Amino acid sequence: MTAKTEWPSSLDDNELDELDRYLRAHTGEGDLLLDGVHGLLSALAVGPLLVLPDEWLPEVLHEPFADEDEGNRVLALLAKLNDSISAELDVDAYEPILGEVELETGPTLSAAGWCEGFSRGIDLRASLWENRLSEDPQLMELLGPVMALAVDEGILSADTEFEKLSEDEYDECLSQVPAVLGAVNQYWQAKPATEAEVEAMVLQSPGDDHDDDAPPRQRSGHWVH
């Protein structure tokens, strides 16, 4: 079997459960859970510039490890999760990890956590994304379904007031997420960040995009893959 036809090495259910349990035991209010981490890494995988683990790990890990074995295990799981995203996109096998929340009508899927993570991934290269989104309506159009979900979940604020998505509209946006990521990935490959955009990013203060007074964003419940 050639490398192009091999199925990507993604985390199995036991590994996902293990990582989920660790994150739940070592996060505080507003920190990312498994679905949020997947959203974060997904944004980085399809974004304009490489983001190294030294930069994104502080968004995920907030407490020292109990010992070296625990640290090696958690880092290995995160590395495998990170590597699997691009591999899954390459073979059209990507699925977002979603939350499951309890409503009066029963459990339902929620993209809140994934969208929160995706927005934080964009924040790590905020100036590049914002500059391109303001200048090229194509990128905004490509991101439409993801942005609709993020606005619906209260992760992003909109200049105008939007009606809540119907259940069918929500499901339709969710179904488009893999295609959106593939298209955004191709966009940045075809129209990479310019030298001027990169220089502007380097000059920008790292803390400019964070509002310490902002309330914690929504988190989701149990993950579903």
The label of the residue with tokens 């309506």 reads 137
Give the per-residue pLDDT at 224: 56
Residue type, 165: L
Q: How far apart are CA 59 and CA 224, in angstroms?
A: 21
The label of the residue with tokens 């604020």 reads 157
Residue-wise pLDDT for 144-176, tens only, equals: 999 999 999 999 887 777 789 999 999 999 999
Listed range (94-98, 148-152, 161-165, 201-205) with the worst mean pLDDT: 201-205
Note the Cα 55 to chain centre separation in Å. 15
Backbone angles phi, psi at 224, to 5 degrees: -135, 130
Token digits of residue 54: 């030294």
Give the per-residue pLDDT at 213: 44
The label of the residue with tokens 């992760």 reads 155
Q: How far is CA 84 from CA 73, 146, 162, in A?
A: 17, 20, 35
- Going from N- to C-terminal start, the domains of the chain cover 13-212+219-224
Residue-wise pLDDT for 104-120, tens only, equals: 787 888 999 999 999 99
Residues paired with 99 in a beta bridge:
110, 223
Give the per-residue pLDDT at 214: 42
Backbone angles phi, psi at 18, to 5 degrees: -65, -45
Give the per-residue pLDDT at 1: 34
Q: How far apart are CA 89 and CA 186, in angstroms?
A: 11
Q: How far apart are CA 30 and CA 62, in angstroms?
A: 12
Predicted TM-score (pTM) of the model is 0.87
Q: How far apart are CA 91 and CA 133, in angstroms?
A: 27
Helix axes 34-45, 112-123, angle to 10 degrees: 40
Residue-wise pLDDT for 54-67, tens only, equals: 999 999 999 999 99
How many CA atoms lie less than 13 Å away from 102 in the CB half-sphere? 1
Residue-wise pLDDT for 5-57, tens only, equals: 455 578 999 999 999 999 999 999 999 999 999 999 999 999 999 999 999 99
